Amino acid sequence: MKKQDRERLLRREVISGSEILLRTLLLEGVECVFGYPGGSVLYIYDAMHGNPDFNHLLTRHEQGAIHAADGYARATGKTGVCLATSGPGATNLITGIATAYADSVPLVVITGNVATSLLGTDAFQEADILGMTQPVTKHSYMARRPGDLPRILREAFYLASSGRKGPVLVDIPKDVSAATAEFIYPEEVSVRGYTPAPEVSPSAVRELGAAIRRAKRPLLIAGAGVIHSGAEAELARLARGAGIPVTTTLLGIGAFPTRDPLALGMAGMHGTVAANRAILGCDLLISVGSRFDDRLTMRPDRFARQAVIAHIDIDAAEIDKLVPSSLPVVGDARAVLTALLHELELTGGEEEGEAGARHDKPTGDWLNELEQIRSIYPLRYHNPEDGLKPQYVIEQMAELTGGEAIVTTDVGQHQMWTAQFGWFNQPRTLITSGGLGTMGFGFPSAIGAQIGNPGRTVISVNGDGGMQMCSQELAVCALHGIPVKIAVINNRTLGMIKQWQELVYDGRHSHIDLSGSPDFVKLAQAYGVRGLRAETKQEARKAWMEALEHPGPVLIDFVVDRDELVYPMVPQGKALEDMIIGTSS
């Protein structure tokens, strides 16, 4: 922001709560607010009218707005902002708030509420949104005076984006947005009793360093915390310097390049054989910013039983929550890894960009063993000449973009195939709802990711089920020329549910048939988005190329094999060693 613009915004004047809100958002560096108006936020929308500084994107549903803000935050590392009215506007945000909370995504969520005099009277469009969202927000505020708004908002941004990140809600009653106060922007922000990132304990780092020196079969698990803290370079330096293979959680994908020789791929329920065998066989498991989610561990009591477990996490509450660790290190992942690199004297010499499995390291035998497992059990699928397999669609996407695109997914089989067969060179390039597993997230999150990265290729991979949960946002892409490439992996079923019914419920298919879905090509065209269809391998490759070259939004309906299953798979209730390697049809 230019100095004179900042000075203009900082001017001490008596202005309305709504104007205070807008000014504070601009001073916080907010580039775009994703929102939807209503009665309780009309003063705020009135203040936006004719305000050239302020950028607001009107979605077609509040759920679209919050997932877009979430996608923006995940793709940029900045805090996403969304705005909705009281009552139904606010309640429509709840799934998105819970989605962001589960994955520690920084959001400031602003809701209007009824006037303070009406609070608690069951007034028209009144909802206790603070109460409803308390379990899924990092913190929340009710602004009761317009003059409090700058401090509240500064604190909200600070809390959302520091420590373990997460959504913060700011509820603003209508009269507060209307009333005036002198605008005083606090330069400093502090929240009493809140310590965002604890000091890293030097003795804990020393002990972990010693364990790494002793280990013959060490393994790194990279979780979302690596990406949240921007620790990917430190992680790569540690892995390469000490010859440690790296597996990731679903949300850790991108923390380490997919194609690095030390990369084993994703671990857990649909993880690679090499990653899961590495967990079972390692003698030291170092988790960096992962919370040992049950989709990773499957059975915590049978997880990495041969290993000494080191757990690096910014949130002390995660230590020993699910998997007990004998080497806990509480702190920001980047700070801990930096200290560890010093401890191991890995700070100089080797270039961080230098990839390569270090077979000359003491861990050489272990790396060879894992390489062998990888070559015996690569991710594979039956890829016939005719027809179209979903994995092929993802492989083509990865190949044609060279792993450089930002890819968002929805939830289901296509999400797992994207995680398995996609190719991600950098952090913040796979955006997916991991913790809550929210269908409807994939497409609107891509809109936010694209707004935060105007020059980059952004692709959204969806199932035909999830695509119908937020397809109304096609209007936003068309209207603003937001050039997201939308893939629908169309298997005419709720594929992941069908897969479970096949494997766990003796093939009884109950309510998974998506007959009656729209013609997705026509749906796209109805909104003014280019629509393509691919039913064969040749058509799929051609459609990807056409979409990637087209400057505007494109939807591709990939009509794929209906019966394909995601393998490998560890059935729920089983341990990693019970993995079904499986074959595709």
Ligand X SMILES: Cc1ncc(C[n+]2csc(CCOP(=O)(O)OP(=O)(O)O)c2C)c(N)n1
Catalytic residues: 62, 124-125, 174, 496
User: Which SS3 state, helix, strand or coil, does residue 557 take?
Assistant: strand
Interface with ligand X, residue 223, by CB under 6 A:
no
CA distances to 47, 173, 362, 385 from 396, rounded to whole Å, are 47, 50, 38, 15
- In one letter, which amino acid is 491? N
Q: Which of 38, 412, 448, 452 binds ligand X (CB under 6 A)?
A: 412
- In one letter, which amino acid is 58? L
Asked whether 499 and 505 are in contact (CB, 8 A), the reply is: no
Interface with ligand X, residue 487, by CB under 6 A:
no
- Report phi then psi at 523, rounded to 5: -60, -45
- Minimum CB–partner distance for residue 449 and ligand X (Å): 19
Q: Which of 289, 422, 434, 463 binds ligand X (CB under 6 A)?
A: 463
Asked whether 112 and 177 are in contact (CB, 8 A), the reply is: yes
- Minimum CB–partner distance for residue 562 and ligand X (Å): 9
**Rounded to whole angstroms, how far apart are CA atoms 205 and 342?**
10
Residue whose C-alpha is closest to residue 314's, from 300, 332, 329: 332
Of 107-115, 177-185, 367-375, 491-499, the window that binds ligand X (rule: CB under 6 A) is 491-499
Nearer to ligand X, 263 or 439 (CB): 439
Residues 6+ apart with CB under 8 A from 244: 212, 218, 219, 220, 238, 262, 286, 363
Residues 6+ apart with CB under 8 A from 476: 57, 58, 59, 60, 64, 447, 482
Peptide bond into 390 cis (omega under 30): no
Fill in the DSSP letter of residue 455: T
Burial 248-268 (b: 16+ CB within 10 A, else e): bbbbbbbbbbbebebbbbbbb
Interface with ligand X, residue 411, by CB under 6 A:
yes
Nearer to ligand X, 92 or 438 (CB): 438
Residue whose C-alpha is closest to residue 59's, from 51, 71, 76: 71
Interface with ligand X, residue 495, by CB under 6 A:
yes
**Binding pattern for the stretch 430-459 against ligand X, x by CB under 6 A and - elsewhere:** -------xxxx-------------------
Nearer to ligand X, 142 or 411 (CB): 411
Of 164-172, 351-359, 407-415, 552-560, the window that binds ligand X (rule: CB under 6 A) is 407-415
What number of chain residues touch ligand X (CB under 6 A)? 20
Q: Which of 89, 328, 452, 466 binds ligand X (CB under 6 A)?
A: 466
Interface with ligand X, residue 497, by CB under 6 A:
yes
Of 32-40, 229-237, 277-285, 486-494, the window that binds ligand X (rule: CB under 6 A) is 486-494
Residue nearest to ligand X (CB): 463
Interface with ligand X, residue 37, by CB under 6 A:
no
Of 28-36, 128-136, 463-471, 533-541, the window that binds ligand X (rule: CB under 6 A) is 463-471
Interface with ligand X, residue 403, by CB under 6 A:
no
**Rounded to whole angstroms, how far apart are CA atoms 78 and 28?**
10
Interface with ligand X, residue 489, by CB under 6 A:
yes
Q: Which of 414, 485, 533, 537 binds ligand X (CB under 6 A)?
A: 414
What length does the chain have? 585
Q: Which of 70, 232, 343, 410 binds ligand X (CB under 6 A)?
A: 410
Asked whether 160 and 168 are in contact (CB, 8 A), the reply is: yes
Of 132-140, 143-151, 273-281, 461-469, the window that binds ligand X (rule: CB under 6 A) is 461-469
Interface with ligand X, residue 465, by CB under 6 A:
yes
Of 133-141, 223-231, 464-472, 543-551, the window that binds ligand X (rule: CB under 6 A) is 464-472
User: Which SS3 state, helix, strand or coil, does residue 6 take?
Assistant: helix
Nearer to ligand X, 347 or 585 (CB): 585
Residue whose C-alpha is closest to residue 461's, from 511, 405, 499: 405
User: Which SS3 state, helix, strand or coil, does residue 112 take?
Assistant: strand
- Minimum CB–partner distance for residue 490 and ligand X (Å): 8
Q: Which of 40, 104, 413, 432 binds ligand X (CB under 6 A)?
A: 413
Nearer to ligand X, 156 or 560 (CB): 560
**Rounded to whole angstroms, how far apart are CA atoms 220 and 279?**
9
By CB under 6 A, name the binding residues for ligand X. Answer: 410-414, 437-440, 463-466, 489, 491, 493-497
